[in-house]
Structure 1
Amino acid sequence: MAPRTEITRFLAFFLFAFVALLCIYHGTQSDSLRLTTYAKRSLPDDATIQPRLDLGTELHLLSKRAPPKNRAEAAEKGRGYMCQLESIEPIDLDSELTDLQTFNNDWSPQPYGVSNGDPTETGSYISVALAAKGLPINIGDRGLKGLIYEQNQEYKVGNSYYEPTIGYYKATISTKAGYISAEDNISPAYRLAETRKGNPPPRISRLSDVYFLMWKEVAGKSEAELKNIKYFVRHHVINGASLDVALEVASGKPLPPTKEDGSRDTSMVEEWPGKSYDMSTDDGKAILGTPNGAGVARFLMDHKQELGVKAPSKVTLFKTTGHTNADTNQPEDWIHFLFEISPVHKKKRRGRK
């Protein structure tokens, strides 16, 4: 491949920005949604996925907007993501963001804590769903691995060094089965917001980039396994904006205000097999447009050159019961998103649906 010059980089970015603006335009021009915009609620729970903070390397023109407040806003964002996902044009990412050596300079692996042959965290809680899809449950089955990476190293941004953020990402991955589950994560940006120090995050810090590098590590030298992404699970969704949208999708009507203790009525969500929403529907796009869905979209969108041009084809929304809230010690249900991913065979047709 010929080396990129400043001119080709500028042209590539200009082309991508033009496509993104078209995506935004066609999303906002859609006639398919005519839903009321509801009063804004306080949504401080953004630990699961952070917006891109470095404006100099911002690649997603849709992602700088605030988290969606309701189904209508989430569906608009989801339409924009699908438009970009279905474009065959790859994103010109800085090579450092896909380099395992750069990643390992700032992040350290931690023990997952589950022995070979025992179920992963995801496998312990949604084994019925995984079995129904033919996905591995136990460590070692079809190469299933548990990974935890912690940002516990001093890191450099520009000419300055910064202390570790202690952000972390936890996942279980089988590239042979084409499956990844995002089990737990607190981003460096969220940790930095807690400390209010104003430090920039490490170069590699976003969920989509870290999980891609975990995926790449497990795939090793197998290009076939690297491209074999078929399922992406958002296990135990706790993000408030994501939950509000998912519950509105499941109920088919506006939600009442969240209770003072932060609990939500999840009675409208079914246990497995739950309910599946095709990405051709506004409900499917709404779940993709949540903060938790955005992590899946960006994982695929940012890494087309390595993963191929792929997009979610549908998402299954379901819950598990019998859990206890760690803060209130009260019973609670857990909400899960299971995205199924397929290759994109042709460009999406421009224009209104």
Structure 2
Amino acid sequence: MDPQPATGGGWDNLGDEDFPADLLDDERWKDLKCKGQNLVTAMHSSNFDAAKLYKPIRPTAESPWDDSGALATWDWRLNTDSDDLYANFLDHEVEHNGEEWGGYGLEAPLNELGLPLHTGNDPKTDIKIVYLNHFDVDGAPMDQQTYNVGGKTHRATGGHYKFGIETSTGAMFSLLLLAPAEAAKDCKPQIPKEDLPELQRASDLAWLSWAHFAEPKSHLKYFFNIAITNEDTQKAIRTVLKNTDTAYGPWPGVTFNTNTDEGKVLLGTPNGRGHGYFLAQHKTALGNNMYISKIQVFHGATAPFIPNMVLHIEREQPPTKRRALRKDRARL
């Protein structure tokens, strides 16, 4: 029988609730729904029309970040630690480097969607882990680390992103997301907003990671958000489940189309909107409009039963050319 906590929530090893039953208030619901609706519109629009949704309006919705050389410029470093480049997606513990690693409990979704179960170096056959740090793990204490861009000195923030990439079926996994803006709050002294790296958003780092390995870049079917701990996203999940009178459970969980209010709210969450930007800001490289059609919410088969989301990606089909109907004219 699939494990399902009596509370419907998730609990960590200390007995503390990991997925509280708090809900969004009405104002935050409307805000996330608006963000989600704008992303739905942007994904289905031209670059020119999508750019009108930005404040201030831009000449194009295209992201300026399409060169992986920008990673080094803005002090993003590839983590090479073998532990950091590992993840256990199975429903049981696995020994790695002499230690037992708990599993995410994702065997059911990975098997059903035709994805590999293990990490490895080849994204065509395995889930390739890419871990980017905004600091030098072997350098000076982080608060003392600096880098220079265009004659201006910036400080390392401690931000980091851990992605999984699989290019045969086409899936990208978000495993750890700590944006520089959030990490900078713990730096001493704090780093002001104007000193943060220009290259900092998860959607841009995810794109550069994906584009490095994927060919064609448009061969992408799924975004996975694994073990979601963001408070806003957790509240959104609780609220959409309550509003639809559906239970929180294991795969396949509950599916919300993005043409519904609930789907738009999930897309507008911190764990959803980066994926919308990923598609809306790279239309040229993707070859055509691609969009998120639905979002599945579920927990893994292992404790602490923290929520996951799978966002399904589809390609917009070009309009069918219709032949003009012509009436045969009788000859006199």
Q: Hey, what's the Cα distance between the residues in 2 that align with 1:227 and 1:114?
A: 30
Once the two structures are superposed, the pairs formed by residues 1-353 of structure 1 within 5 Å of their partners are 39=25, 69-70=28-29, 72-89=30-47, 91-93=60-62, 95=64, 97-105=65-73, 106-111=75-80, 113=82, 120-122=87-89, 124-125=103-104, 126-140=106-120, 142-152=125-135, 154-195=146-187, 196-198=190-192, 200-219=195-214, 222=215, 224=216, 226-252=217-243, 268-308=247-287, 309-320=289-300, 322-323=302-303, 332-345=304-317
Q: Deviations for 1:276-332, whole angstroms, at most 9, x for unmatched residues? A: 111222211111011111111111111111123211011100012643xxxxxxxx4
Q: Hey, what's the Cα distance between the residues in 1 that align with 2:33 and 2:159?
A: 30
Report the 3-state secondary structure (helix = DSSP H, G, I; strand = E; otherwise coil) of the residue aligned with 1:292: coil
Q: Hey, what's the Cα distance between the residues in 2 that align with 1:234 and 1:305?
A: 25
Report the 3-state secondary structure (helix = DSSP H, G, I; strand = E; otherwise coil) of the residue aligned with 1:81: helix
Q: Against the structure 1 CA distance between its residues 269 and 38, is the aligned structure 2 distance closer, same or farther, given a 3 Å change threshold?
A: closer
Asked if the contact 1:230/1:341 (under 8 Å) is kept, the reply is yes
- Name which one, 1 or 2, has greater alpha-carbon Rg: 2
Q: Deviations for 1:50-77, whole angstroms, at most 9, x for unmatched residues? A: xxxxxxxxxxxxxxxxxx723x432222
Q: Against the structure 1 CA distance between its residues 94 and 231, is the aligned structure 2 distance closer, same or farther, given a 3 Å change threshold?
A: closer
Asked if the contact 1:182/1:233 (under 8 Å) is kept, the reply is yes
One-letter amino acid of the counterpart of residue 279, structure 1:
T
Report the 3-state secondary structure (helix = DSSP H, G, I; strand = E; otherwise coil) of the residue aligned with 1:269: coil
Asked if the contact 2:179/2:201 (under 8 Å) is kept, the reply is yes
Q: Against the structure 1 CA distance between its residues 101 and 79, is the aligned structure 2 distance closer, same or farther, given a 3 Å change threshold?
A: same
CA deviation after TM superposition for structure 1 residue 38, in Å: 6.7
Q: Against the structure 1 CA distance between its residues 274 and 120, is the aligned structure 2 distance closer, same or farther, given a 3 Å change threshold?
A: same
CA deviation after TM superposition for structure 1 residue 139, in Å: 2.5
Instruction: Indicate the structure with greater helix content.
Output: 1
Q: Hey, what's the Cα distance between the residues in 2 that align with 1:238 and 1:173?
A: 21
Q: Hey, what's the Cα distance between the residues in 2 that align with 1:273 and 1:112?
A: 33
Q: Against the structure 1 CA distance between its residues 165 and 253, is the aligned structure 2 distance closer, same or farther, given a 3 Å change threshold?
A: same
CA deviation after TM superposition for structure 1 residue 179, in Å: 0.4
Q: Against the structure 1 CA distance between its residues 298 and 144, is the aligned structure 2 distance closer, same or farther, given a 3 Å change threshold?
A: same
One-letter amino acid of the counterpart of residue 69, structure 1:
R
Q: Against the structure 1 CA distance between its residues 155 and 127, is the aligned structure 2 distance closer, same or farther, given a 3 Å change threshold?
A: farther
One-letter amino acid of the counterpart of residue 145, structure 1:
K
Q: TM-score, normalised by structure 2?
A: 0.70
Report the 3-state secondary structure (helix = DSSP H, G, I; strand = E; otherwise coil) of the residue aligned with 1:152: coil
Q: Hey, what's the Cα distance between the residues in 2 that align with 1:314 and 1:235?
A: 17
Q: Hey, what's the Cα distance between the residues in 2 that align with 1:287 and 1:208?
A: 16
Q: Hey, what's the Cα distance between the residues in 1 that align with 2:255 and 2:41?
A: 21
Asked if the contact 2:290/2:314 (under 8 Å) is kept, the reply is yes
Q: Hey, what's the Cα distance between the residues in 1 that align with 2:242 and 2:28?
A: 16
Q: Against the structure 1 CA distance between its residues 92 and 253, is the aligned structure 2 distance closer, same or farther, given a 3 Å change threshold?
A: closer
CA RMSD between the two structures: 2.7
Report the 3-state secondary structure (helix = DSSP H, G, I; strand = E; otherwise coil) of the residue aligned with 1:130: helix
Stretches of structure 2 lacking an aligned partner (at least 5 in a row): 1-22, 49-59, 91-102, 137-145, 320-332
Q: Against the structure 1 CA distance between its residues 283 and 94, is the aligned structure 2 distance closer, same or farther, given a 3 Å change threshold?
A: closer
Q: Deviations for 1:66-99, whole angstroms, at most 9, x for unmatched residues? A: xx723x432222111100110032645464x221
**How many residues in Structure 1 have an aligned counterpart in Structure 2?**
256
Q: Identity across aligned pairs (percent)?
A: 24
CA deviation after TM superposition for structure 1 residue 101, in Å: 1.1
Q: Deviations for 1:211-238, whole angstroms, at most 9, x for unmatched residues? A: 111101222xx3x2x1111100111111
Report the 3-state secondary structure (helix = DSSP H, G, I; strand = E; otherwise coil) of the residue aligned with 1:333: coil
One-letter amino acid of the counterpart of residue 36, structure 2:
G
Q: Deviations for 1:249-278, whole angstroms, at most 9, x for unmatched residues? A: 011179xxxxxxxxxxxx931111101111
Q: Against the structure 1 CA distance between its residues 85 and 291, is the aligned structure 2 distance closer, same or farther, given a 3 Å change threshold?
A: same
